Structure 1
Amino acid sequence: MFELRRALCALALSTTLGMSLSAMAADGDTLDNPRPLAGDVVLPLPCDGEMVLRYVYVLARGTLDDREISLGYSFSEGEAGYKQSFISGYRRDFINGQFTLDDLPSGWRKIIGPLLPKTDPATPLKPMLYFIGKYEVTARQYAQVMSQAQALASGEPAPACEVFEGVAGRLPKVRLSRFEAERFSAVYSAWLIKYYRDLLPISGRGKTDGDGGVAVVRLPTEVEWEYAARGGQAVSRQELEGRLFPRRIDGSDEDGPLGDWAVFNQVAGGTGQTARLMLIGTRLPNPIGMFDVIGNAAEMVQESFQLVHAGRLQGAYGGFVAKGGNYLEGEGTLFTGMRREYPLFAADGTEQSNETTGFRIAIGALSAPRSRYKELFEQWQQEGRLASLTDAIDDAQDPTKRLDTIISSSTDPRLQAELGLVNEELKRSISLIAQQREMAVGNLIQSSALVVETINNYNIRLTNLRKSQKQAADAKDEASARLFTVAIKNGTSALDGALAIYIDNLATGTRYTDAVIQAQLQRVKEELSHRPVLGKSLVARATLFVRHVGSYRQRKRADPPAILKELLTSAAQP
C-alpha cells in the first residue's frame, strides 16, 4: 500500500509538471498561487498580480519575550558534512513575531484568527506572528515590481502593464544579486505603502499613523527562514530538531520520499532525471504551507554570513547566506539547516549572482514602535527580577529592586558604576535561571500527564486481573486464582508507586510561581496538539495536573485516595 501511495503521489506530481502553458494562463490565480491553502494571505502586486504569504507564530508574553530554538545540524564525526560543521553546525538562537492579531488588516484577521490558538485574559501567552513568502519570488513577479521603480523614484505615472507570457515567468527568479533582491524589496515596499497602505499590518497599531510600525517587505532573517522551513508552530519540539521537516503521508507513520517535497539532483540515485529549475508549487508544501524550502532555488536571507563556533555564530562577517540548497544538490547533502556563503561581488567587480539562487520575501516592521514603548518597558523591568521566580518573595522585597534603590541613592559615581555592573550581572543570571525553570516546568507538566496515562493503564490491567481472578475462583481453579492474586498485588504496588511519583510532582510544581505554571501549560497544550493519538488525552491530564498543583499550593498537602479517584474518573470520561 505504501508503494502504491508513492506511485499515486508521483503520478499527481508528474501531472502537475505536465500542465500546458495555456491551462496555466487560463486562470490568473494559478500564476501566483498554483496551490491554494487555508490560511493564505495576500498582498497585491503591480499589474494585477499577487504575493501570497504564510503566517508563522510563536506563543509569547509579548514583544520582548521570545523562544529558544535550534538551528543548523549537529554532525557526528565521520558523517557527511562533519568537516564543514563550522558552516552549518548546531547552534541555539531565539525567535519571536512582530505582530499580534490586532495588528493585522481586517481581511487577514478574518482568515488567520480562527486558525490561531484561543486566548483570553486567563492565558498569559498570545501568538506573536510574522509572515513569509509561500513561494519563491518568480521571474514574473520580479519584473512586475521592478517595472514600477522609475515611476516611484520620479513621481511619474506608472507604466502600462506588459503581458508576461511563457512558462519561464513562473520559475523562481534567479541570476540576481543580493543587492537586487534588496532593491526589489525596497521598490515593492514603496509601492505598497503608496497605494495599499491600508492592506499592510502595523506593528503596535496606535492612535495615529506614526505610532505603530508599518510593515515593509524585506528578506527574511536566517532565524525566521529556518524556523518556518522546519515547520514552525505546526510541528512538535522534537520534530523541529530534525534534519528535515516532517513529510507525512496519509495512512503511514513514515516520512514520504523527499522527492515529493523538493526539487534536487536525482541523477546520482539512478533515476536518470536531469537536474533543472522547476516552476513554483510543483511539489508538496512543508508543514506550515511553504513550497520549495528545500532544493529548487536556494534562498538569500537578510544577514551577512558568519561561521559557527562553539554552538554560536562567530564574530566575523562575510558574504551573503543562501539557505535550503538548490536543484543541483544531491539528496544526501540536503537538510533544513543547510547554508552556503557566496561573495557579494564577482571576480570582475560585478554584483555576484548565479543560476541556482533566488529569494522569498518576509514582512517585517519596527520591533519597538512608539505605541509599544510602555509594554516593552514594563516587560524589560520584570526581566531579571527574583520575585518572578518564587512566590516567597514579593515585588517590594526583591533584592534586585533594593539594589536599584541603593545605587540611585549613592553619591559616589564610582560605587554606583560598580554596583550597577553587579546588579546587571545578577539580573542576567536570574534571567538564565528563569529560562531553565520554564523548561523544567514544561517538562514536569508533560511527564506528569504521562504518569496519569500510566496510572490509568495500570488500573485497566488491575480491573481485568480482578475479573480473571473471580472467574478462576468461581471455577474452583485455585492455582490460577493464586497467580492472579500475586499479579494483582504487584499491579497495585506499581499503581501506588506511580501515584506517589505524581504527588511528588505536585510538590515540585509548587516551587514555581502560578504565572510560570500557567504559561507552560499553554505551551504544553500547543505542543501536545501535534500528537494526533495521545494529544487530546494528555492535554486533559496536563490540565488536571496543574489544577492539582494549585490545590496542593493552597492546602500544603495531598489526599492520595481522593487524587487517585479523580484521576481515574477523568480517565473514564470521553
Structure 2
Amino acid sequence: MIKALQRQLIGSLFLIVAPLSTAADWPRSLFNPQPAEGDVIFPMPCGGAMVFRKILIPNQGPLNDYGIVVGGEDADYAYAEHLRPAHIAGSFDQDAKTRYYLIGKYEVNRAQYAALGSQCQPPAEDQRLPQNNLTWLEAMVFADRYSQWLLKNAVDKLPKDGQQSGFLRLPTEVEWEFATRGGLAVPLARFRERVYPMDDEMVRYVWFEGAESANGKPQPIGALKPNPAGLHDVLGNVDEMVFDLYRLNRLDRLHGQPGGFVVRGGNYFTPQAEIRSAQRIEVPFYVKGEPRRAETTGFRLVMTVPVESSREKLRSLRESWNRLGSVAAPEVPSTPVEAIAAKGLEDPVAELGVISDAAQDLNMKHRLRNVQNRLKVTIQERDDQRKLAAKAALRLGAFLCQKMGTDGKWVDAAETLLRQREAAFGIDDPGVRSRRDRLQADRAALTENLLYYAETILGAAAIYDGQVLGEQFEVLKTELTLKNYQSLLGYADTYYRQLAAYRGKPAVRQRAWLDECKALNKK
C-alpha cells in the first residue's frame, strides 16, 4: 500500500502545476461569503484567497499542553467514538499566555482547488461548492502545493514560530474535533455535548439529509451559520478527511492497529439524528483496486509549524523535558521545622538514576532505568492532575466570590428596606415581621455560604503550593478571557489574592473577604 501511495503521490505532483500568474481578484462570495472579525486570509494563485480562523489554546511552556476529552457517549458507536482523554497545543504565539493554530473557515471549494491546477479559470458561483470526489493523497498534495506557493509568493504573510514559517496539511482528529466543538469559545460544561451550542434550529447550521436541508446534494460553502469558533459546515455538507489513520477505541485510548483514513462530521446524506461532533468513520484508501473517491467527501486545511522551530526552541524543549516527572524543589521554608525537613528532601527520580548508573549488573541497570521511567511518568501524571484540580479550585472560588457579592448586596439592600419600613409602620407591623423573617433566613444562608467560602480558601491553601496556584491562576485568567467570561476575572483575582494572603499569614477574615466580593458587585 505504501508503494502504491508513493506512486500516486509522484503522479499527482506531475499533474498539478500551480500557475504563478494571477487573474482578477475573486468576488468575496467565492472565498469568504460571511466575513467576520478575526478572519485570517491568505492569497492564492489566480487572484484567489482562502480564509482561516485562529483556534486559541492556553500556553504554559514548550512541553505543556491543554487536556481535553474527545469522543461521545453513543453506545452504538463506542467501539470507535468512546470518550477518551486527549491533549492539544498551539503552533504560534498569540501572546505570552496563548498560542493558536489555524484551521480553514470553510471547506476547500472547487475554485480554490482549481487555482492550484494547470490553469486559472474564470470565477463562477458554482465553484463555491466544496471540492469532493478526490482521494486522501490528492488532498495532501493540494496542501503541499499550496504551502509551496505561499512560501514562494507570500511568505511575509505567514505566521512564524522561531525561524519556521507555517505550512498547510490536513488536520489531525484532535485538531479537527477541538475546533468543531468550538474550542475555548464554548463553556467547559457544554464542550462534550453531542453537537456544538446552537442558538437556532440545527437546519440553520448543518446540511443534513432531507428536503428541508441539503436535499441530497452538496451545498455552497458558508451559506449557513458558523459554529462558536467561526467555522462553517464542520458538521454536514461533505464529510472531511483528516490526517490520522483510523484506529478502534480501547476505552481510554486508541487501539494499536491502524487502518484506512478517517472522515469526520457527516455529510448531506447523514440523517439529522446522526449528526454529532464525535462521528469518525474509517474509509479504505482503495476500493476495487482504485483509489477511493466519493461525492460526499471533501476536506479543509490547517496551518501549523514544525515543533523544533529554532535552536532556542530546541534548547527550551530539552530543559522542559528534563523537568518532567521530577520532584519540584520545596518552597522556601517559613519555619525552623520546615527548614529541618527540607534538608532531608531528595529527588527520588534523580536518586534512581544515580543508583542505576552505579549498578554493575547490566540487567539490574536496565531494570532500575525502567523503574525510574515509570516513576517519572507517575509523578508527571500526578502533577498534571494536581494542576487541573488547582485550576478547578480557583474557578470555583471565583464563582463563589461572585455569588457572595450578589447575596451580600441583596442582604444589605433588604436590611435598609426593613429599617425604612420599621420606621414607617412600626416593628410589630405584619408586613415588617414577614420581611424580618425572610431577612433572617437570608442572613443565615449568607453566613453558611461565607463559611463554605472560607473553607475553600483554607483547603486550597493546605493542598496546593504557591507556584502551582500562581501558574494555574494565569491559565484560568486566559481561559476566562478566551471564553468571554471577563465578568468573572475580577472575582477570580480577588479570590486568588485572598488565598495568597492567607497562605502568607493564616488569618481567617470572613467579613473582609465578603466585603471585597461585594465591592465587585455593581448591582
Give the TM-score, by structure 2 length: 0.86
Distance 2:152 2:227 in 1: 33
Q: Deviations over 1:184-234 (max 9, x none)?
A: 1222222223333333333323xxxxxxx3322111111111111111122
Do the aligned partners of residues 538 and 44 (structure 1) sit closer, same or farther apart at CA in structure 2, a change above 3 Å counting?
closer
Cα pair 1:55 1:132 within 8 Å, conserved = yes
Q: What is the CA-CA distance between 1:554 and the residue it aligns to? A: 0.9
> Equivalent of 2:126, from 153, 160, 168?
168
- 3-state DSSP class of the match of 2:328? helix
Distance 1:162 1:447 in 2: 57
Q: Deviations over 1:138-157 (max 9, x none)?
A: 1221122132xxxxxxxxxx
Q: Does 1:519 align with 2:471?
A: yes
| Paired letter, 2:194 | R
Give the aligned partner of residue 500 of structure 1.
Answer: 451
- Taking the TM superposition and a 5 Å limit, the aligned residue runs for 1:51-70 are 51-70=50-69
- 3-state DSSP class of the match of 1:542? helix
- 3-state DSSP class of the match of 2:442? helix
Q: What is the CA-CA distance between 1:557 and the residue it aligns to? A: 2.6
Q: Does 1:362 align with 2:302?
A: yes
> Equivalent of 1:338, from 268, 275, 279?
279
Give the aligned partner of residue 74 of structure 1.
Answer: 73
Cα pair 2:308 2:314 within 8 Å, conserved = yes
Distance 1:395 1:288 in 2: 51
> Equivalent of 1:90, from 83, 96, 99?
83
| Paired letter, 2:140 | E
Do the aligned partners of residues 219 and 390 (structure 1) sit closer, same or farther apart at CA in structure 2, a change above 3 Å counting?
farther
Do the aligned partners of residues 168 and 485 (structure 1) sit closer, same or farther apart at CA in structure 2, a change above 3 Å counting?
closer
Cα pair 1:280 1:291 within 8 Å, conserved = yes
Give the aligned partner of residue 106 of structure 2.
Answer: 135
Name stretches of at least 5 consecutive residues in structure 2 with no aligned partner.
1-23, 334-341
Distance 2:209 2:110 in 1: 22
Give the TM-score, by structure 1 length: 0.79
Do the aligned partners of residues 426 and 538 (structure 1) sit closer, same or farther apart at CA in structure 2, a change above 3 Å counting?
same
Distance 1:302 1:215 in 2: 17
Do the aligned partners of residues 216 and 350 (structure 1) sit closer, same or farther apart at CA in structure 2, a change above 3 Å counting?
same
Q: What is the CA-CA distance between 1:402 and the residue it aligns to? A: 3.5
Give the aligned partner of residue 322 of structure 1.
Answer: 263
Give the aligned partner of residue 176 of structure 2.
Answer: 225
> Equivalent of 1:447, from 396, 399, 408?
396
Cα pair 1:63 1:367 within 8 Å, conserved = no
Give the aligned partner of residue 202 of structure 2.
Answer: 258
Q: More displaced, 539-548 or 183-192?
A: 183-192
Cα pair 2:409 2:521 within 8 Å, conserved = no
| Paired letter, 1:336 | S
Q: What is the CA-CA distance between 1:324 and the residue it aligns to? A: 0.6
Distance 1:457 1:165 in 2: 57
Distance 2:149 2:214 in 1: 41
Do the aligned partners of residues 470 and 272 (structure 1) sit closer, same or farther apart at CA in structure 2, a change above 3 Å counting?
closer
| Paired letter, 2:100 | L
Distance 1:537 1:31 in 2: 38
| Paired letter, 2:253 | R
Do the aligned partners of residues 464 and 501 (structure 1) sit closer, same or farther apart at CA in structure 2, a change above 3 Å counting?
same
Name stretches of at least 5 consecutive residues in structure 1 with no aligned partner.
1-24, 76-81, 102-117, 120-125, 148-160, 206-212, 248-254
Cα pair 1:301 1:320 within 8 Å, conserved = yes
Distance 2:30 2:304 in 1: 25
Cα pair 2:405 2:520 within 8 Å, conserved = no
Give the aligned partner of residue 16 of structure 1.
Answer: none
Q: What is the CA-CA distance between 1:280 and the residue it aligns to? A: 1.1
- Taking the TM superposition and a 5 Å limit, the aligned residue runs for 1:282-293 are 282-293=223-234
Cα pair 1:390 1:512 within 8 Å, conserved = no
Cα pair 2:101 2:304 within 8 Å, conserved = yes
Do the aligned partners of residues 495 and 178 (structure 1) sit closer, same or farther apart at CA in structure 2, a change above 3 Å counting?
same
Do the aligned partners of residues 529 and 192 (structure 1) sit closer, same or farther apart at CA in structure 2, a change above 3 Å counting?
closer
Distance 1:395 1:31 in 2: 68
Indicate the percent of aligned positions where both proteins have the same amino acid.
Answer: 30
Cα pair 1:465 1:487 within 8 Å, conserved = no
Distance 1:360 1:142 in 2: 11
| Paired letter, 1:520 | Q
| Paired letter, 2:33 | P
Distance 1:241 1:391 in 2: 41
Give the aligned partner of residue 275 of structure 1.
Answer: 216
Cα pair 1:63 1:98 within 8 Å, conserved = no
Q: What is the CA-CA distance between 1:484 and the residue it aligns to? A: 4.9
Distance 2:111 2:369 in 1: 56
Q: Does 1:350 align with 2:285?
A: no
Q: What is the CA-CA distance between 1:91 and the residue it aligns to? A: 2.0
Q: Does 1:310 align with 2:268?
A: no
User: Over aligned residues, Cα RMSD in angstroms?
Assistant: 2.7
- 3-state DSSP class of the match of 2:53? strand
Cα pair 1:382 1:388 within 8 Å, conserved = no
- Corresponding residue pairs, total: 488
Q: What is the CA-CA distance between 1:465 and the residue it aligns to? A: 4.0
- 3-state DSSP class of the match of 1:341? strand
Q: Does 1:237 align with 2:181?
A: no
Cα pair 2:25 2:47 within 8 Å, conserved = no
| Paired letter, 1:426 | L
Do the aligned partners of residues 496 and 44 (structure 1) sit closer, same or farther apart at CA in structure 2, a change above 3 Å counting?
same
Q: Does 1:215 align with 2:162?
A: no
Q: More displaced, 515-524 or 389-398?
A: 389-398
Do the aligned partners of residues 487 and 195 (structure 1) sit closer, same or farther apart at CA in structure 2, a change above 3 Å counting?
closer
